[in-house]
Structure 1
């Protein structure tokens, strides 16, 4: 037998880790899994199980009280889309209101937050103070702010009193801005924009501060005015930020319902009803006959819409970058 053939098994034995090292490695792994196991179990219980049961519930009828479900297949989806006239009408109205919010809130947010960010970026003194002031609406408790807005917009609220004192009584709303079908949804859109401007302003401000000042100064030296610099240089560089801000507004329009529940509950006459509020009402606000199956089906329709919008946003981001 050659010397090489004898040395190969010995070398393999030397390269193999000792048994104690292998045992210690497995003990470390088990300890790590022991620490992670509670979080994994909680996710499986509260996350995976809830998602799976909600998906199955969208194919069944259940009011939350009976011990068993009644399977209906795609019946819940059909009821929402066309089979049930009352549900289908409510869904179409909620889709229309949600679409208006999805378009108006991102556009107005960008139109307000970008000039604010440019102004803050041009200020050298008190920038931190002003930034904190603009960010204050976002950190304030939402429910408390919504109740404050209800008081301000009431028939005897501050806005009607202010309009009367300024001699603009024709603009007053005797039933309140939230009680008039013509002003209820625009008023809520304004409040949504007011609450989303702080984050958008900070995002734009961070984007402006990341732009190389040499590029802007070179454009000014070449004779470009402030408007042309904004349009030709700053705005194209901020397009990815704009897409992200628009996506946040669309997300809030699809899934947000807290402001609509507290301030109008979908009224007056369903003029402020949105998809998120409709799903909540189907599940929890129908007394002793909630329709959890319809609520789950509507939730999954919202999820499908959110996925499509996310894919569209990802494709748009790839184009603008």
Structure 2
């Protein structure tokens, strides 16, 4: 009995620092953030002013100076959540199939396609800003190719009709490498005899892809879609660095709106609003995770 207690205490002695750190940095932070969503506070006054569900009501409909911007940001976020995972799958799956069939220089090609992922995000975003300026490389190439009508004289990020979709394409460009490697992992786990048997039976490559490879990779696709939706909901660095929500709020998303409410409203008591919007994002992410888990159970 004494030996068992000694082992128990020794184990807890090793685990306690991590548990204490999680309790302070995790549980306390989450709890205080939830409580703050029901209060009004500017970050400087010693006390919070409790307002109940007023913050949520203001965000959704009650405040005419706030709710329209949140609804526009929600619409932009929805477009990003749908377009980024969809385009990532449509690009990375054929790319992975092609790379899997290549015999020579396969390792080099994988490294080349993976470069966007290992490149520092902020540096990449600034590089894209230079490319998309009015006199940037994108417009220059279009004019040189005789497609000057497609160039954007004010820049791709300053035009309300192109700014959001330009950022979506950059997000897809940065997400494709990881998705491609995941698909390559899934392709290498497929039994080659299944594909060979289908080809012997006369199946065309398109039929093999549609009837065998795509169904077997469905769990991987669900995971890639979930990652894309998660990044679309919580990632705002690209929107902050490249456009800061402009022009005219056409690239503002909910995560950026949360950031703006927390840090760029001066002495206005908007930290509670920011926390409430963050919790709405959290609830949305949880619902999407549950939907994805249900989809995976059906697939399996």
Shared fold (TM-score, shorter chain, > 0.5) = yes
Counterpart in the other structure of 1:202: 181
Alignment deviations for residues 155-198 of structure 1 (CA, whole Å, 9 cap, x no partner) = 11111111122222111111110000000001000000000000
Write out aligned runs for 1:76-95 (5 A): 76-95=55-74
1:1-321 residue pairs with structure 2 within 5 A? 22-289=1-268, 291-321=270-300
RMSD: 1.0
After superposition, the C-alpha distances for 1:46-77 in whole angstroms (9 at most, x for unaligned) are: 11000000000000000001000000000000
Structure 1 residues 102 and 195: CA distance shift in structure 2, 3 A: same
Where 1:92 maps in the other structure, the secondary structure is: helix
Residue aligned with 1:86, SS? coil
Spell out, residue by residue over 1:108-144, the C-alpha distance to the aligned partner (whole angstroms, 9 max, x if none): 0011001110011001121111111111111111011
How many residue pairs align between the two structures? 300
Residue 157 of structure 2: SS of its match in structure 1? coil
Q: Aligned partners of 1:70, 1:121: CA distance in 2, in Å?
A: 59
Q: What is the CA distance between 1:40 and its match in structure 2?
A: 1.1
- Kept in 1, the 8 Å contact 2:89–2:224? The answer is yes
Whether the aligned pair in 1 keeps the contact of 2:34 and 2:279 (CA below 8 Å) is yes
Cα displacement string for residues 72-121 of structure 1 (whole angstroms, at most 9, x for unaligned residues)? 00000000011101211011101100111111111100110011100110
CA distance in 2, matches of 1:166, 1:286: 46
Q: Which stretches in structure 1 are left out of the alignment for 5+ residues?
A: 1-21
SS of residue in 2 equivalent to 1:293: helix
How far did residue 287 of structure 1 move? Answer: 2.4
- Cα distance in 2 for residues equivalent to 1:155 and 1:287: 33
Greater gyration radius: 1
- TM-score calculated relative to the size of structure 2: 0.98
Runs of at least 5 residues in structure 2 that lack an aligned partner in the other structure: none
CA gap of 1:290–1:133, structure 2 versus 1, over 3 A, is: farther
In 1: Cα distance, 2:45 partner to 2:292 partner = 42
1:28 Cα deviation after fit: 2.6
Relative distance call for 1:245 and 1:83 in structure 2 (3 A) is: same
